[in-house]
Amino acid sequence: MEPSEPFTNSGSDGSGQTPLCPGCLAELSPGVDFCGTCGMPVSPGSVIEPLKQVQATGWAYRRVLHGRPSRIVLIGMWLIMGPMVILPALGVFYQADWSWDWSPARLEDLLAEVLYSGFAVLYAIILYKVTANYFRYHSRQRPH
């Protein structure tokens, strides 16, 4: 494999080159937007088209949650997800009406509070997993 062409190998189709996934080095079929092995977006169209952009964004978050995040990724996730944990929690306590009124308006507020709390818990779990992965992988690298 030539250093100037890191994502190709000698193919059996006579062309001499088969595209490889930059994430897992699996061979790619011609014209695919995502790797069939790891799900990484491999074409420019995969991040431009709206439906494929959702899949590409999901791949990025899955990689952060299950991979080895760097310090900048950890900081970025805290900047993105941190306010999403704090603000819904503050909103729930600010809007909380501690009376036992079971009117339809109060039930709507209660449903909104449960929904906001659920989102806050979801984002807190994501932050916990990213932070735990960061410290797990980086604590192994330090010489003792």
Average pLDDT, consecutive stretches of 10 residues, N- to C-terminus, the chain (144 residues): 43 67 87 88 85 86 81 92 88 70 77 87 92 84 58
Query: Are residues 41 and 85 located together in one domain of the fold?
Result: no
* 108 and 141 within one domain: yes
- 8 Å CB contact between 70 and 90: no
Phi/psi class of residue 59: alpha, beta or left (left: φ > 0; alpha: ψ in -120 to 50)? alpha
Query: Both 19 and 33 in a single domain?
Result: yes
Is residue 20 within 8 A of residue 29, CB to CB? The reply is no
Which pLDDT does position 109 carry in this prediction? 80
- What's the gap between Cα 18 and its chain centre? 29
Residue-level pLDDT at 16: 64
Domain count, the chain: 2
pLDDT of the residue at 106: 77
Q: Are residues 82 and 61 in the same domain?
A: no
CB 81 within 8 A of CB 69: no
pTM of structure: 0.63
Provide the 10 A C-beta neighbour count for residue 55: 15
Same domain, 50 and 101: no
Distances (CA, A) of 68 to 77, 80, 106, 129, 139: 13, 18, 44, 11, 12
What pLDDT, on the 0 to 100 scale, is given for residue 87?
87
pLDDT of residue 79: 95
Residue 4 phi, psi (nearest 5): -80, -15
Q: Among all chains, which residue has been given the structure tokens 């695919």?
A: 32
Closest CA to 8 of 36, 35, 28: 28
Tokens of 130: 């990213």
